Amino acid sequence: MTNNQANINKIVTPCQKGLKGTIEIPPDKSLSHRAAVFSALTHAKCEIFNFSSGKDCHSTLGVLKALGVEIDFKTDKNLILKSPKEFQKPSCMLDAGNSGTTIRMMSGVLARLPFDTVITGDQSLQKRPMKRIITPLEQMGAVIESNDFKAPLTIRGKKLHPIDYASPIASAQVKSCILLAGLGTEGVTSVTEPYVSRNHTEIMLDYLGADINTDGTKVSISQSELTPCPIHIAGDISSAAFFIAAALIVPNSDIIIKNVGLNPTRTGILDVFKAMGADIQILDERTVCGEIVGDIRVKTSDLKGTTIEGAMIPRLIDELPVIAVVATQANGKTIVKDAEDLRAKESDRIAVMAEQLRKMGVEMEETPDGFIIEGKQNLRGSATIDTFHDHRIAMSMYIAGMVGDSPIEICEFEWVDISFPEFEGMMAGLC
Ligand code: S3P
């Protein structure tokens, strides 16, 4: 996000009538990043359909362009990517913007190129932990200089050797970084996670012909050439989550969300909401490029609290801020545990959600690895909300505003554009 972009303060008014209608959810961010990077790794011409318009995914395209990849948008969402036989040494620092996925996945590629690169990002990204990728990459023989394990990262490209890495955290960014380093390294590189994180990298690399295997929480990859194939990207369940949450808690709602990615490593939100008593139906389930896709029907529901912990956390890590909002409207206690990594996202999402919901009168107990909310609680309006430059905080608090007793104001709402520029227009269309 550029610093000279105007700040937008958004007034959110309570939604009186309920949400009604059908929407098509925009493309998945995780899949869009991967489609771009993996297509570039074919070193050929590839087509990508339904690419995200979010700024994060365009940061990935920017990094690839700096390495000599040509990107030609045929429509606003369909593109042709032409990757040179070999990546070119960039003439400047690579800029991952606000995107953790870009810097962490690309580091696995950059570490094995025959030249040095420097990759960095915006102020928020420069505060985020990179030790989680530096440690395994260094074990593979990579040479990386950092600012106390934070970006900018100076990556001195080298021939790497394979490792069998036990990751201390369940993180798809870390896993993908190691697998991308392993893709170009002789021998078998493996990563084992404490719990399975989103497996889009495994599915898409397999779709493109990589020698990759999963055994429980362990994924192994051998050096492979990728074959160019058209990639169709499903809708983003993490974006759908805001609409699902809104429809559940705004009275008299009944909506259909079409074309949503339903990969089981991402559908924790549906399982948790169903356990809370949500009326959610999946329609027309199908498979696209190895990923499960379907439509989701959601109606307003009487919800009860639940406990979310352990293996469930990586399946809904990005949805926890909006789950906090829904928990305020559920009867009884919702307890979230084992989610300490939520403090290392675009903001400390535990502290920030607690602080912003408290401005609306919510009682929420913050714990080191999660939070406890006992509902139902009245959400007071007339609050001025800060987003801390975090797109998911902005959208979660928008949903809170929809069930408040009077309007709220959300500062710097433009940060929504990081993942979901279409958010407000789509919501307005349903209200
Ligand atoms: C992502 C993985 C998750 C998630 C992020 C996108 C990905 O991060 O929070 O929004 O595309 O791999 P971690 O892997 O760090 O948990």
User: Cα separations (Å) of 135 from 120, 131, 144, 219?
Assistant: 18, 6, 10, 18
Give the span between the Cα atoms of 11 and 320, in whole angstroms. Answer: 23
Q: Looking at the structure, tell me whether residues 164 and 79 fall in a common domain.
A: yes
CATH number of the domain to which 133 belongs: 3.65.10.10
Count CB atoms within 10 A of the CB of residue 251: 11
Q: Is residue 392 part of a domain?
A: yes
Ligand 1, atom 10, residue with closest C-alpha: 318
- Going by the DSSP 8-state scheme, the letter that residue 391 receives in this structure is H
Q: Which atom of ligand 1 is nearest to the CA of 201?
A: 12
The response to whether residue 107 sits with its C-beta less than 6 Å from ligand 1 reads: no
172 lines ligand 1 (CB under 6 A): yes
Which residue is it, tokens 């505060």? 127
pLDDT 10s digit of each residue in the chain, 431 long? 444 467 889 999 999 899 999 999 999 999 999 999 999 999 999 999 999 999 999 999 999 999 999 999 999 999 999 999 999 999 999 999 999 999 999 999 999 999 999 999 999 999 999 999 999 999 999 999 999 999 999 999 999 999 999 999 999 999 999 999 999 999 999 999 999 999 999 999 999 999 999 999 999 999 999 999 999 999 999 999 999 999 999 999 999 999 999 999 999 999 999 999 999 999 999 999 999 999 999 999 999 999 999 999 999 999 999 999 999 999 999 999 999 999 999 999 999 999 999 999 999 999 999 999 999 999 999 999 999 999 999 999 999 999 999 999 999 999 999 989 999 999 999 99
Domain shared by 147 and 39, yes or no: yes
What spacing in Å lies between the alpha carbon of 171 and ligand 1's midpoint?
Answer: 6
Same domain, 138 and 113: yes
* Same domain as 174, residue 296: no
Give CA separation, 5 vs 1, 120, 417, in Å.
8, 20, 12
Give the other-Cβ count within 10 Å of 281's Cβ. 11
Does residue 175 lie in a domain region? yes
Say if residue 188 is in the same domain as residue 305.
Answer: no
Residue nearest to atom 4 of ligand 1 (CA): 318
Atom of ligand 1 nearest to the CA of 341: 16
Distance, in Å, from the CA atom of 280 to the CA atom of 297, rounded to the nearest integer, reads: 6
CB-count burial class (<10 Å; 0-12, 13-18, 19+) for 165: buried
DSSP classification of residue 90:
P
Cite the DSSP H helix spans in 337-390. 349-359
Residues 165 and 279 in one domain: no
Burial 178-216 (b: 16+ CB within 10 A, else e): bbbbbbbbeeebbbebbebbbbbbbbbbbbbebebeeee
DSSP labels, 236-297: -HHHHHHHHHHHHHSTT-EEEEEEEE--TTTTHHHHHHHHTT-EEEEEEEEEETTEEEEEEE
130's CB contacts (< 8 A; 6+ apart) are 103, 104, 107, 146, 149, 150, 151, 153
Give me the amino acid identity at 338. D
Task: Count how many domains the chain has.
Answer: 2
> Which amino acid belongs to residue 175?
K
Domain that holds residue 297: 10-25+235-430
CB atoms inside a 10 Å sphere around CB 124? 20
CA distance 303 to 235: 26
From residue 316, alpha-carbon distances to 230, 268, 395, 420 in Å are 28, 5, 16, 17
| 401 located within any domain | yes
Query: Which atom of ligand 1 has the smallest separation from the CA of 344?
Result: 15
- Domain end residue (candidates: 214, 232, 250): 232
Under 8 Å between Cβ of 47 and 232: no
Nearest alpha-carbon partner for 370 in 343, 344, 400: 343
Say if ligand 1 is within 6 A of residue 318 CB: yes
Q: With CA atoms as reference, report the closest residue to 144 among 159, 156, 126.
A: 156
Domain end point (choices 232, 266, 296) = 232
Q: What is the pLDDT of residue 5?
A: 60
Shared domain for 249 and 386, answered yes or no, is: yes
CA distance 175 to 132: 10
Looking up tokens 């939604």 gives 15
Domain assignment present for residue 39? The answer is yes
Same domain flag for 201 and 129: yes
> In which element (H, E) is residue 50 found?
none
CB 392 within 8 A of CB 241: no
Whether residues 323 and 198 fall in one domain: no
pLDDT at 280 (0 to 100): 98
Q: Note whether residue 126 is domain-resident.
A: yes
Catalytic residues: 318
> Domain check: are 15 and 93 in the same one?
no
Which residue among 232, 256, 288 closes a domain? 232
C-alpha 172 to ligand 1 mean position (Å): 6
Please give the backbone phi and psi of residue 283, each rounded to the nearest 5 degrees, phi first. Answer: -120, 150
Q: What is the pLDDT of residue 1?
A: 46
Q: Measured from the CB, is residue 239 less than 6 Å from ligand 1?
A: no
- Does the Cβ of 99 fall within 6 Å of ligand 1? no
Does 92 share its domain with 217?
yes
Residue 2 is assigned to a structural domain of this protein: no
- Measured over the CA atoms of residue 151, residue 61, residue 200 and residue 179, the dihedral's sign is negative
87 and 122 within one domain: yes
At residue 241, the pLDDT reads 98
- Residues near 4 by beta carbon (within 8 Å), at least 6 away in sequence: none
- pLDDT for residue 325: 98
191 in any annotated domain: yes
Does a structural domain hold residue 140? Answer: yes
Q: In whole angstroms, what is the distance from residue 37 CA to residue 48 CA?
A: 11
- Running DSSP on this structure, what letter comes out for residue 42? T
101 alpha carbon – ligand 1 mean position (Å): 6
Which residue is closest in CA terms to ligand 1's atom 16? 171
Give helix then strand counts, H and E, for the chain.
12, 23
One-letter amino acid identity for 31? Answer: L
